Amino acid sequence: MAVRMVQCVKFGRELPGLEEPPWPGELGERIYQNVSQEAWKLWLEHLKMIINEYRLNPSTKEAQELIASQMEQFFFGEGAALPPGYVPPRKKG
């Protein structure tokens, strides 16, 4: 199967896209159309920090609303694009 490419909003270039919308509704569809696998991995790392920082229980409606709003901001909000030349930190190990 061919890899689906997207013009990634986070990295500003064409990269492999997600296999399916990662979130329900319109936000999930926008992410599916505009976010690369690489950018989604960055989000998942950021999400762990949010869950820990706010001590969220992701199964609650309130937590899901906060996560959706943070996700929207992360990908589509002001300053969402990474600085030019950004290099993700190397994984230790």
Domain layout of the chain by residue ranges: 5-76
Tell me how many degrees the CA angle 16-19-21 measures, rounded to the nearest 5: 115
Q: Specify the CATH architecture of the domain 5-76.
A: Orthogonal Bundle (1.10)
Tell me the pLDDT band of 2, cut-offs 50, 70 and 90: confident
Supply the pLDDT for residue 89: 57
**DSSP symbol at 45:** H
Average pLDDT, the chain: 89
- Estimate to the nearest angstrom the gap between the alpha carbon of 42 and the chain centroid: 6
Is the backbone of residue 71 left (phi > 0), alpha (psi -120 to 50) or beta? alpha
What interhelical angle do 25-34 and 61-76 show, nearest 10?
30
